[in-house]
Amino acid sequence: MLKPKHSAFHATPLALLLDHLQVHKLYLAGVSSDQCVMAAVIEARMRDMEVVVPRDLVATQDGKRNAAALVNFEVVHGRKTTPASRVRLPRVHATSARSR
């Protein structure tokens, strides 16, 4: 899906899609950790979603800004920034995926 602005939620059908799929937990990764990823984290929180930001799957223009964004995710927004190697995604059974 294309996103016209910073957040993946702004002017996109993402919220409707996640609601339809009954998704309550997001793992957010991407570039511009201090802008685009941050905006998506904030909007997901406003929708009462659980959010995890794998710290090694985000980046921005320089290391200082990325480090500041990671601190912001954890301290200000209370979001986990675990390494991607520690992320364990839930298993989806083929039958439950087809029934949607």
Whole-number Å distance between alpha carbons of 69 and 81: 10
Per-residue pLDDT tens over the stretch 32-86: 999 999 999 999 999 999 999 999 999 999 999 999 999 999 999 999 899 999 9
What pLDDT sits at residue 99? 55
What's the rounded mean pLDDT across residues 23-33? 94
Amino acid letter, 98: R
**Entry pTM:** 0.85
Cβ distance 41 to 53 under 8 Å? yes
